[in-house]
Amino acid sequence: MSELTRIPAPEGVAAAPQYSHVVMGSGRFVAVAGQLPLDEKGEPVGAEDPAAQARQVFENLRRCLAAAGATFEHVVKLTYYVTDVADLPAIRAARAEHIPDDRLPAASAVQVAALVRPDCRMEIEAFAVVPE
């Protein structure tokens, strides 16, 4: 069980059903670099399929978190970089497979003109706090 406190909507701030505005915790900080929808060999997954790309990105995030002794339960912030905001529902669906609605992290979504790999539609980074 994580010792994180989530504040979905501080007083005077409109609630957002897709994320928490504030997540606090104390412990070991873990930063996971932006993950692309690449398989273990570095090959892109689901070229024109945002759902397949989102699932791969979250699997890559899961593996990176595990390497640091963390899980999605410890994630306090996600940042989504997408080439098309229409892909956000697919990302939210993939996120829901790993993070329940009552433990939503803080989040930001940014539409970008391009990513480092033109065959990738999204890149997602994560910050986590693992209790001591």
Domains of the chain, first to last: 16-130 (3.30.1330.40)
Tokens of residue 50, six digits: 């945002």
- Per-residue pLDDT, 132: 82
pLDDT exceeds 90 at position 3: no
Which pLDDT band, with edges at 50, 70 and 90, does 47 fall under? confident
Secondary structure element (H or E) that encloses residue 7, with its range = strand 5-7
- Report whether 16 contacts 89 (CB < 8 A): no
The owner of tokens 């993950």 is 35
Two tokens, residue 12 = 């005077």
